[in-house]
C-alpha cells in the first residue's frame, strides 16, 4: 500500500501550523507526508471585507479542486471556512478535538471590552463580530481588518486600531496566547459556526485516507459542529450573515446556542435548544431564528 499522503493547505502561518499538526500525527502512525501549499481566492483578497456576493467557500474551493483532480490526498481546513455544502465526491473524513472556540480581544491599552475608551477603533472583517461588538458597545468604531493573524497583529501594533477581535484557536495554535487581552464568553458573544475545529477533508471513496485519519476523529466535536453547521445550512448562510452558533456536548445531549443580528447590532435574536440528534437540534434553532429574523436574512442575501 502507498504510505505517502499529500496534504493540501493554505500558506498562512495558521494554516501551515494546522497542516503540520496533522502531518505529525500521520507521521507518528508511520505515514510519509508531503505538504502542498495552495493559494485560495480568499487569500488573494486582502483589501476589503467580504460582501454578500462572496461565498463562504472562498478559502476552500481551490483545495477541493486539488482533491478532486488527485493533486492532493487530504485537505486541512479551519471548519468555519467550509460552506454548508461541499463539492460532490468529497467528505469530512475526520474532525479532531476542538481548540478553544471563543472569540478574543487583543488590545494595545484597554484590559477588556467594557474598559475600552469611547469611540475606540476595533478591527475585524467579520460581520458577525461587528454586530455583536456594536450590540455591546454602540459607540465603537468598526474598521475593516483583513490579512493573516501576523498581519493583523502588526497593524494593531502599528497603531491602526485600538483593539482587534480574533479567534482564540488561531492564537493558541501559534503560541500567541500572551497577546490575548480578554476571552469573550461563548454564550453571550457567540462564535462562528465551527470555530476552533478542524476539518480533514478527503475524497469520499478514498478508503486509504479514511483509514489513516480515523484515529484523529473526536465524536463529541463532530456532533457539536454538525449541530452548528445544520443551522448554517438551514439558513443558507455564508460569510455575509451575522450568524453565530455554538454547541457543546453535555451528558450525551447537544446544547446549542445561536444568535442572528442586524449588522449594526441594534437587533439581536437568540435561540437555543437541547437534544440527542445534532441535526434535529440545529434545524429547530434555525427555524426559530428564521421565524423571528427572516427580514435580517433577506437583507444579507
> Is the CB of residue 74 less than 8 Å from the CB of residue 198?
no
Q: What does 48-104 look like in DSSP terms, one character per residue?
A: S---TTS-GGGGTHHHHHHHHTTS-SEEEEEGGGS-SSPPTTEEEEE-PPP----EE
Active site residue 205: no
The dihedral formed by the CA atoms of 231, 140, 51 and 62, expressed in degrees to the nearest 10: -70
Cα distance between residue 224 and residue 234, in whole Å: 16
> Is the CB of residue 283 less than 8 Å from the CB of residue 234?
yes
Nine cell digits for residue 131? 454586530
> Is the CB of residue 17 less than 8 Å from the CB of residue 113?
no
73, 81, 103, 162: the catalytic one is: 81
Helix 13-28, helix 149-157: angle, nearest 10: 140
Active site residues per annotation: 81
Amino acid at each position: 500500500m502507498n504510505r505517502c499522503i499529500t496534504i493540501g493547505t493554505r500558506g498562512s502561518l495558521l494554516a501551515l501550523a494546522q497542516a503540520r499538526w496533522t502531518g505529525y500525527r500521520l507521521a507518528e502512525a508511520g505515514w510519509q507526508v508531503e505538504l502542498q501549499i495552495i493559494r485560495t481566492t480568499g487569500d488573494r483578497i486582502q483589501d476589503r471585507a467580504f460582501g454578500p456576493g462572496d461565498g463562504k467557500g472562498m478559502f476552500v474551493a481551490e483545495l477541493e479542486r486539488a482533491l478532486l483532480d488527485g493533486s492532493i490526498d487530504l485537505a486541512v481546513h479551519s471548519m468555519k471556512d467550509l460552506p454548508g455544502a461541499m463539492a460532490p465526491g468529497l467528505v469530512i473524513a475526520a474532525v479532531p478535538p476542538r481548540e478553544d472556540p471563543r472569540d478574543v480581544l487583543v488590545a494595545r491599552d484597554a484590559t477588556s471590552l467594557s474598559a475600552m475608551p469611547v469611540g475606540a477603533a476595533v478591527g475585524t472583517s467579520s460581520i458577525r463580530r461587528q454586530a455583536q461588538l456594536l450590540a455591546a458597545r454602540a459607540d465603537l468604531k468598526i474598521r475593516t481588518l483583513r490579512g493573516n493573524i501576523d498581519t493583523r497583529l502588526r497593524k494593531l501594533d502599528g497603531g491602526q486600531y485600538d483593539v482587534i477581535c480574533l479567534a482564540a484557536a488561531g492564537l493558541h495554535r501559534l503560541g500567541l496566547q500572551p497577546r490575548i487581552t480578554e476571552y469573550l464568553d461563548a454564550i453571550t458573544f457567540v462564535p462562528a459556526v465551527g470555530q476552533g475545529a478542524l476539518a480533514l477533508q478527503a475524497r469520499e471513496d478514498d478508503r486509504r485516507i479514511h483509514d489513516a485519519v480515523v484515529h484523529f476523529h473526536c465524536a463529541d466535536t463532530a456532533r457539536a459542529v454538525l449541530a452548528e453547521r445544520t443551522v448554517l445550512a438551514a439558513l443558507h448562510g455564508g460569510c455575509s450573515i451575522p450568524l453565530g452558533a455554538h454547541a457543546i456536548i453535555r451528558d450525551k445531549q447537544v446544547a446549542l446556542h445561536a444568535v442572528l443580528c442586524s449588522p449594526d447590532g441594534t437587533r439581536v435574536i437568540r435561540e437555543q435548544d437541547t437534544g440527542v440528534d445534532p441535526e434535529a437540534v440545529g434545524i429547530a434553532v434555525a427555524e426559530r431564528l428564521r421565524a423571528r429574523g427572516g427580514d435580517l436574512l433577506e437583507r444579507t442575501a
